[in-house]
Structure 1
C-alpha cells in the first residue's frame, strides 16, 4: 500500500492536526478534538495506520529493544553467553533478573506497545469511512496484525509462560480493544488472563492472515501473519498449528534462504529470507540492536559482549561464526545502523516445521531431518544422519542467536533460565510503577512490591 518514514509521518500528523484545529478553532480546543473527526476520511485513517506501523517499529519495540531485552533476560548469569558491560542500569537489571519497578526500559516497552495498540484500535474504529471493500479489508488486517503481535509480546514479558499450565488463571495484560480517547474511571482496566490474551492474539493474527496480501512492500503480509501465528502456537505447545503455519510460509515459494548466513543481515532492503523485517533508513534512526550489540567500530556502544561459553557451542566449520567479529567478542549481525531489522526469517520457519513434525512424528512439507539439513547446508556443516528434538533446539539456538528468541524458547520448553525456573517470578517483568500508581485495578506480579 504505502510506506512513509518517520519524518513524513510527523509532517502528516501535524498537517492533520492543523487542518482540524483551523476548522474547529471556534468550537473546540485542539487537544480535545473528537477522534471521529480526525478519522473522518480514508486518507486520515491511512495516516493513523502508518503511525501505528511507526510505533510498532520504535526502538522500544521491534526497533531492537524487545529483541535485546529478551536475549539479556535469557542468560545464565553464573556462566553467561552474553555479558552486559555497559553503563546503563536498566538493561543490567534485566540481564541480572533484578528488575526494579521504575525500570524505564520495561515501562517504555509497555507504553510504546499500548500506544501502537491504541493507534490500531483507532484505525479499526473508523473502517466505515473506507469505501473500497478490498482496501477496507486490508487496512483492517494490517491494524489487527499490529495489535495482535503487540499483545503477543506484552503477554510474554509481563505474564507467566503459557506452558506453566495455569494460563486460564494467571494474569496477563489488560486487553483494550477500543480507542482510548481520554483518561477517566473507565480507563482503570484490569488484567486479562494469559489465556484470554493468547485467544485475542490468535483471533487478530488469523484475521490478519486472511485479509493481508502476499506482497505489501515493507508492510505486513499474509506470510508475516502466518509466521507470527507459528510463534504463538509454539508458545502454546500447539505443534500442529505451529507446523502448519510455518509450512504455509515455506510452501508459498515467496522466500528463499540467502546464499550465505551473513547475507541475511545488514541489508538496506529486505533479503530473500525476510518474512517480516522492520524498515529502517537514515532518517528513522531506530536500531537498538546496533546501538547495544555492535562494536564501537560499527557505530555501536559495544555494551553486549559474547563469551567463550557461547562460542564453544558451534561446530568446527560452522559459518555462523562469520557473523562474529574477528576477536569473537561481538556479533556483526547488527553492524549497519541503517539496515532493515529481520524479525522473522525463513530459516526459523524450517526450524519450527522440523521441531513440530519431530514432536508429532509427522511429515508435513518435509521430514525433520531434511529441514535441519537445509539449515546446516547453508552454513557449511555436514548433513546429519539422524535428528531428535534436542538437536533441533540446539540448531535453533545458534541459527537465531542475538535475534530475541532464546528466552521464549527456554520458557516454552520449560528449561531453566540460569539458576531460575522457566516460570520463576524473576523471569516475569513487573507492571511499571507509574501504571500501578494511576490504576488501582491493576495487580502487580508476584515478587514485586505493589498493589
Structure 2
C-alpha cells in the first residue's frame, strides 16, 4: 500500500507538472515513467494505483453526498460537538449546499483536479500498454478495456457536475467538458470544452471499444467486483444511454446485463441483512470501489465516515465517537410505506439538538447502507431494472416498465402498481427510494428537467431551485481557467 501511495502521488504531481518526468516509488528514490511502465508488473502497479485514485475521488465527502444532499435525500446532524447541538454546514460543502459555489474557491476543486489526474493516468497506461513485451495480447487487451472504461467513467462524472443535462438544448449543442484522450507527457495541451453531444459520443466510443477488448477475468488480484469488467462496463453504458435519452440502447444494454451477467437481485428475506454485512458488498453488486486496506486489513477511512451510526444512544451534544454528519431527511423517509422493508435500513437515534436556544432531543434516521462497509457502491443490479423500466416507459411499453418497477417493489414488500397511468413518475420515485445515498437524486431530477425542493432539515437560504438554472452545475475552478485560456466558464460564474 505504501508503494502504491507513492505511485499515485507521483502521478498526481506529474499530471500537474509535465516537466517532472518521474514517479517516486520509495522515499529517496525516483523511477522514470518510461522505466516504470516498460513491463507488465509496472503497468499493473500503475493500474492498481489508478483504482485507488478513483476510490478516493468517488468516496470523498464532496462527491459521495453531493447528489443526495442537494436533491433533498439527506440532512445534516448536530455533528459538531463544539457547537453543543447546533446544526452547522460541513466545511467541505458550505458553498455548494447553498447553490453558491465560487470559481475562485470552489468546494469541488479537488474533485475536478483529481478527475483529470485520473484521466491523465489512464492515458499514460493506454500509451505504454501496447508496447509491453512480457504481456500476452489478451492481457494487454484486458488492461486497455479496464482503462478505457475508467477514462469514460471519469469523463461522465465530470459531465454531470460541470455541464447541463443532455436535453438542455434540443441537439445537445450546449457546452460540455474537455475530453482528454492523450496524456500530457507529450506536451501541455490547451483544449476547448466539447459540446455535450460530443462528450457523450466520446464516452460511448470509449466504452464500446472497451467492451470489444474485455477478457473473462481481470489481470489484477482481488475480488472481481472491485474492478471494471464486461458486465459493469455495460452497466455504465446503460446509464450513459439513459442520460442521453437514447431509450432503445438503454433498454437493450440494461436488459443484456440483467439477462447475462449471472448476478441476481437480493431477495426479500435477506434485503436488510445484505446491507448489514461487515465489509462485504451486497450480493447484487456489479462494481464496488473498495477502500484500500493495510496489511492488517484495516482501512484508514471509508464512506462510512459520513453515513455510519452508533448502535447505542449517544451522550449529550454528540453522536457517540463517530461524528457522522448526514442522515435521511424526512422528505425521503416518509416516502416509504410502513411495511416497506427498506424502511428497516434506517436506524433512528435521538440526538440533542439546539432549537431556538433550547436543547431538544430530535430523531435522526441513520442509514445502514454504509455501516461497516467501506466500499463505494458504483453499480448494482437494481439500477439496471430501473433503467430498463424507464427506457420501456419512454418507448411506449408501459406494462413492461410497470413489471420491472413491481419487481423492485415486491422485493421490498411495498404495494404493487396496478396500472401504468403515472409510470414515469413512479419510476422516478422508485429510483429515489431504492438508490438513495448512491449518488443519483440530483442528477435524476435535472435530467428529467425537474427542480429541487428541500424541506426537512434544510439550513440554507436557498432550499429550492427551479429548472432550468445555471446553478444546477458548478463552476470550473478559476485556477484551471487561468491555466487554459481556451476553457470557457459556466454561466453565472
Match among 4, 8, 11 for residue 9 of structure 1:
4
Q: 1:299 to 1:276 in 2, by over 3 A?
A: farther
Q: Which residue of the partner structure matches residue 370 of structure 1?
A: 403
Segment of structure 1 superposing worse, 205-214 or 326-335: 326-335
Q: 1:353-408 CA distances to partner (integer Å, 9 max, x unpaired)?
A: 11111221249xx9223222211122112332223121122111100111110111
1:325, 1:415 → 2: CA distance? Answer: 30
For 2:81, the equivalent position in structure 1 comes to none
Say whether residues 1:118 and 2:115 are aligned partners.
no
Question: Alignment partner for residue 236 of structure 2, among 228, 246, 251?
Answer: 228
Give the distance between the partners of 1:14 and 1:316, measured in 2 at CA.
49
Partner of 1:292: 306
Cα-to-partner distance string for 1:153-174 (whole Å, 9 max, x where unaligned): 1011011111112564322221
Shift of 1:63: 5.2
What displacement does 1:64 show? 5.6
Please point out which of 306, 309, 319 is paired with 2:341. 319
- Give 1:274's match in structure 2, choosing from 274, 285, 293: 285
Q: Distance in 1 between matches of 2:164 and 2:487?
A: 16
Q: Distance in 1 between matches of 2:320 and 2:153?
A: 30
Contact 1:170/1:194 (8 A) holds in 2: yes
CA distances 1:116-145 after superposition (whole Å, capped 9, x unpaired):
111110110012233411111100000001
Match of 1:153 in 2: 157
1:61 corresponds to which residue? 58
Tell me the distance in 1 between the aligned counterparts of 2:104 and 2:308. 27
Among 41, 44, 52, which residue is 2:42 paired with?
Answer: 44
> Is residue 109 from structure 1 mapped to residue 111 from structure 2 by the alignment?
yes
Q: Say if 2:146 and 2:210, in contact at 8 Å, map to a contact too.
A: yes
**Unaligned stretches of 5+ residues in structure 2:** 11-21, 78-86, 219-223, 311-318, 350-362, 454-463
Q: In the alignment, is the contact (CA less than 8 A) between 1:354 and 1:392 conserved in 2?
A: yes
For residues 323-342 of structure 1, what are the structure 2 equivalents within 5 Å?
323-327=345-349, 329-342=364-377
The residue number in structure 2 matching 1:141 is: 145
The aligned residue for residue 3 of structure 1 is: none
- Distance between the aligned counterparts of 1:298 and 1:352, measured in 2? 39
| Distance of 1:105 and 1:280 partners within structure 2 | 23
Contact 2:7 2:49 in 1 (8 A): no
Greater alpha carbon shift after TM alignment, 167-176 vs 122-131: 167-176
Is 1:239–1:360's contact at 8 Å kept on the other side of the alignment? Answer: yes
Whether 1:390 and 2:435 are equivalent positions in the alignment is: no
Displacement of 1:264 after TM fit? 4.2
Tell me the secondary structure at the aligned position of residue 148 of structure 2. helix
Query: Which moved further from structure 2: 304-313 or 142-151?
Result: 304-313
> Relative to 1, partners in 2 of residues 1:248 and 1:376: Cα closer, same or farther, differing over 3 Å?
same
2:6–2:23 contact (8 Å) kept in structure 1: no
* 1:424 aligned residue (457, 460, 469): 469
For the residues of structure 1 that align with 2:3 and 2:26, how far apart are their CA atoms?
18
Instruction: Provide the C-alpha distance between the structure 1 equivalents of 2:144 and 2:395, rounded to a whole number of angstroms.
Output: 34
1:325 Cα offset (Å): 1.3
- Does 1:196 find its partner at 2:198? yes
Question: CA-to-partner distance for each residue in 1:260-301, whole Å, 9 max, x for gaps?
Answer: 3334435423332001111125444342x3222334668643
So what's the TM-score if we normalise by structure 1?
A: 0.85
| TM-score normalized with structure 2 length | 0.79
Between structures 1 and 2, the one with greater strand share: 2
Shift of the alpha carbon at 1:83? Answer: 4.2
Which residue in the other structure is 2:174 paired with?
Answer: 170
Structure 1 47/291 Cα, relative in aligned 2: closer, same or farther at 3 Å? same
